[in-house]
Structure 1
């Protein structure tokens, strides 16, 4: 939204109370008691009497305020477009940066998924865009539903070098096949790093797209799964059935 959407201080105060991400950049909130200026979505909760509003960062700085260290209004704001789609295993939330898919999560409650998105990307501008993400949503839902989508989506899975190496290896595991954590560790050339592999699986930001559900314990047990062991069991069962369905 633009500054014209928030023409008076009452509208700006309401945007602050809602932590309205759409108001980011349209105006800035200066807090006299702390001497900082913030975005409307900042987690801070100043009293109304201590707040003044500025149209620009330059205006806030000229009045003697410094950038808030929590919401960092002086830093460039990355935009992530996101939307949810129903699947046979609940809802999937998909978020995309300019570079590619940044997040795919699974759950049962749209509000909880959206709050998780906000928690993960506190500094990003989050823009709902179900129409613009229609192709991504369809591809993710198809893959979750076990229909073997030919996924050729650009990915932007940010992590440590080790995490990204693990995630890339997971994407080479064929559907219907599983590896244990130690086998993945050997595949990345770190045979003693089974624990680190397990941690990377737990930090996987792209459910199903990066198939951490195909990694199991050495005894074949399912172990944990960030989005629920029952979902992991269902995904593996569907993938195991694909060859028989195709025969």
Structure 2
């Protein structure tokens, strides 16, 4: 979905709502501070002090400098996202040019979008159900015990986190592993707590199956999308 900001009224509305879909479409110059910003900048200028510019070059030609808060000269990444229903509730998928960047479950669209925005504070977010559909279909297939299509992943984390997430994807469906076993699998047997934190930071629900990691005694530990979902996922996989 593409949004146009052709009139100053449209542009000011985007500034008031800190609309990330407007980032890159125009720049907001603030006469009183002498800076130009992204429309989504957290600053709160008065309308009478604002001028709009098509490009950052035009803003600089007007004598303005880049805002240090929103850093409008840094590259803008676009994330297309969409919502879908799964057998275990609502899901949100976000896709970058590199691949699937986020796949989360929840119950409230506003909260889930806020989670997305917090994770990618400098991204321009565009709702696009068609782009998100393959990831949501893969999630639904995985929950149903099927074989989801392989998707490119845009994983962003430390080397240890990415190693953990890779190890999680190697745990067979219907099986579980302890945090200690995962730590051994990545060659860091002393890093059990770090493994647990990496599981908690997993950005791709179910397809990177952190739900298959349990305590050493076999008990279910926490799950960022709810222990009941974790229990249901394991039960579905064992029954498949």
Q: TM-score, normalised by structure 1?
A: 0.91
Structure 1 runs (4+) greater than 3 angstroms displaced: none
Moved more, 101-110 or 51-60: 51-60
Secondary structure in 2 matching 1:53: strand
Alpha-carbon shift at residue 170 of structure 1 (Å): 0.3
The answer for unaligned runs of 5 or more in structure 1 is 243-247
Residue 119 of structure 1, CA deviation: 1.2
Would you say the 8 A contact 1:143–1:208 is kept in 2? yes
Runs of at least 5 residues in structure 2 that lack an aligned partner in the other structure:
none
Aligned residue for 1:150? 148
Q: Which of 181, 187, 190 in structure 2 is aligned with 1:189?
A: 187
Cα distance in 1, alignment partners of residues 79 and 10 from structure 2 = 25
For the residue of structure 2 that corresponds to 1:86, the secondary structure is strand
Q: For residue 6 of structure 1, what is the aligned residue in structure 2? A: 6
What's the CA shift for 1:92?
0.9
Shift of the alpha carbon at 1:233? Answer: 0.9
Cα deviation per residue 1:196-236 (whole Å; 9 max; x = unaligned)? Answer: 10010011000101000111111112111111111111111
1:71 and 1:85 map into 2 onto residues whose CA distance is: 31
Moved more, 42-51 or 231-240: 42-51
| CA-CA distance at 1:136 after TM superposition | 2.4
Which is worse superposed, 159-168 or 112-121?
112-121
Report the equivalent of 1:231: 229
Q: Secondary structure at the match of 2:135?
A: helix
Provide the alpha-carbon RMSD of the alignment: 1.6
| 1:61 paired residue number | 60
| SS in structure 1 of the partner of residue 29 of structure 2 | strand
Once residues 168 and 142 of structure 2 are traced to their aligned partners in structure 1, the CA distance between those partners, rounded to angstroms, is 15
Query: How many residues in Structure 1 have an aligned counterpart in Structure 2?
Result: 239
- 1:68-117 per-residue CA deviation (whole Å, 9 max, x = no partner) reads 22322111111211111101211111111112111100000112111111
